[in-house]
Amino acid sequence: MKDFFNQFDFQSDQLFGKLNSAEKKFADRVMEKLLIKKGSTLFYEGGIPTGVFQLKNGRAKKFKRGFSGEEQIFYIYTKDDVMGYHALLGEERYQDSCEALEDLEVNFISKSNFLKLLNDVPRLKQAVIKNISHEFGVLANTIAVLAQKDQNTRLAIFLMLLEKKFKQKIAESAGIDLTRDDLSNMIGTSSESLGRSLKQFKDSGIIEIEKRVIYIKNKKALLKFLRLDSITQDALVY
């Protein structure tokens, strides 16, 4: 069921697909290629917006600091994803932060060029607005998972989503490679407690771990946690 994954996918990799060839040409012309080192930020909460970014290679985490200061990761961007447009369309400051999980290759479009592009191509502006509404729904779905599911179920869901995300876009690997801190942060638990759940999954043959990379070995068993109807469940085992 494609639907299951779409509920948790921003789909911001498809934004520039709305452009025709002439428009694409303009976009390409104003794009600036940047190389960003692992651990550095593309933008940060409270900063003045400089433009938008499209990831061409690598992964980045999007997070927000709650009122008590701890970071909360709520999305991971991969190849082709566009980010940073919320602040350009509406807010005067970035509302969240984005940090490279590994060395990145990024296309940058400055604020003025992006606004010009939006202005010249109403279809694109419409698509961006529509996408923000879609992303709103993704966050609502994330809230539902965090509020309703126990830890093992949350882990199962995130493993499914992350494997798809990483497989889809990073040809060379189907494994899930995240620090235990980042993964536990997303799932809403401590890294030690996440470790316990991972061990349970390992012991029942659902996953294997090499170095820190998690490989799903028994997708059907993982899906059992999701309590989907059997038709949807079957559709997810590809």
Partner DNA sequence: TATTTTAATTAACATATGTTATATATTTGT
Partner DNA sequence: ACAAATATATAACATATGTTAATTAAAATA
Q: Of 195, 204, 235, 237, which lies in the binding site for DNA, with binding defined by CB under 7 A?
A: 195
Q: How far is the CB of 226 from a copy of itself (least distance, A)?
A: 7
Kindly state whether residue 93 participates in binding DNA, applying the rule CB under 7 A.
no
Interacting residues of 149 by C-beta distance below 8 A, sequence separation 6+: 157
The CB-of-52 to a copy of itself minimum distance in angstroms stands at: 14
Complex with DNA: residue 58 or 84, whichever CB lies closer: 58
Residue 21 interface partner, choices DNA, a copy of itself, none, CB cut-off 5-8 Å depending on type: none
Nearest partner of 84 among 50, 107, 112, judged by Cα:
50
Q: Contact with a copy of itself (CB under 8 A): which of 185, 198, 222, 223?
A: 185
**Count of residues of this chain found to bind DNA when the rule CB under 7 A is applied:** 21
Give 34's Cβ-side CA count (13 Å radius).
20
Question: For 120, what's the count of Cα atoms within 13 Å in the CB-facing half-sphere?
Answer: 13
Q: For residues 56 and 92, is the Cβ–Cβ distance under 8 A?
A: no
- Is there binding between residue 47 and a copy of itself (CB under 8 A)? no
Distance CA 89, CA 118 (A): 10
Minimal distance, residue 231 CB to a copy of itself, in Å: 13
> In this structure, what are the phi and psi dihedrals at residue 43, rounded to the nearest 5 degrees?
-155, 165
Q: Which of 35, 48, 140, 213 binds a copy of itself (CB under 8 A)?
A: 140
For DNA, give the closer residue by CB, 27 or 161: 161
CA angle, 155 as apex, 150 and 161 as ends, to 5°?
125
Q: How far is the CB of 192 from DNA (least distance, A)?
A: 4
Residue 25 engages DNA in binding (rule: CB under 7 A): no
* Among a copy of itself, DNA, none, residue 192 binds (CB under 5-8 Å by kind): DNA
| Amino acid residing at 175 | G
Mask of contacts with a copy of itself, 196-235, x by CB under 8 A?
Answer: ------------------------------xxx---x---
CB-CB contact of 50 with 175 (8 Å): no
Helix/strand/coil for 55: strand
Alpha carbon distance, N-terminus to C-terminus of the chain: 10
Binding positions for DNA, 147-186, rule CB under 7 A: 150-152, 179-181
